[in-house]
Amino acid sequence: MTLGLDPGSTTTLVLLRHGETALTPGKRLSGSGGSDPALSETGSRQAEATAARLAADGTVRAVASSPLRRCRETAAAAANRLGLPVEIDDDLREADFGVWEGLTFAEVRARYPEEMAAWLRSPAAVPGETGEPFEAVTRRVESARDRLLTRYSGSTVLVVSHVAPLRTLIRLALGAPPESLFRMELSAASLSTVVYPSAGDASVRFLNDTSHLR
């Protein structure tokens, strides 16, 4: 399965969620406002398996990553295989979940039921009292996307990031409403692909592909 397309007709963003950390199996919120965990042993293996898949595919021409450690480590594995540098883009960082950092959805719902309901309902709602609303995440992700599409027009770019930014890129490509963010599954070290033709609308070609991890 080839993730990139004809570089002469489209710009392709290959979206890679970072590999597992110690917080991932428990589905604990891990944003940019809490700890900055490294990849676990499982996550490191996932990063290497993904790197091998991308190297075999042979279409990626640039690598952009969130500044958070789990993404930098995942991106480094791919970049080493591809012989490419890693471009750090702060706008690709995960959302800040405020005091919800480190909690599961069930724990947040039990401790902050009204705040959680508001967050699920509105992209303007602030999570965890001091966190970052999804409308703010959307603005910076759009900026990162536009920079990449301009800088690497006609090429395939690997974007290593987190659940919220990657779901946002997919949502924007689909023209889907904000509530769709909670209806997408993006597993650790999964690959998704969004294609941006030189003329016409963006399209999502792959979503949550984990075949390289089996």
Q: Tell me phi and psi for residue 4, to 5 degrees.
A: -90, 165
Question: Per the residue annotation, which of 18, 73, 132, 212 is the catalytic one?
Answer: 18
Q: What single string gives the DSSP state of each residue in 103-147?
A: -BHHHHHHH-HHHHHHHHH-TTPPTTTTS--HHHHHHHHHHHHHH
Could you tell me which residues are beta bridge partners of residue 10?
Answer: 197
Question: Per the residue annotation, which of 94, 101, 115, 132 is the catalytic one?
Answer: 94
**Cα 169 to the center of its chain, rounded Å:** 8
What span, in angstroms and rounded, lies between the C-alpha atoms of 173 and 120? 21
Q: Tell me whether residue 5 is exposed, middle or buried, using C-beta atoms within 10 angstroms of its C-beta: 0 to 12, 13 to 18, 19 or more.
A: middle
Q: In the annotation, is 18 catalytic?
A: yes
Q: In the annotation, is 94 catalytic?
A: yes
What span, in angstroms and rounded, lies between the C-alpha atoms of 33 and 93? 10
Catalytic residues: 18, 94
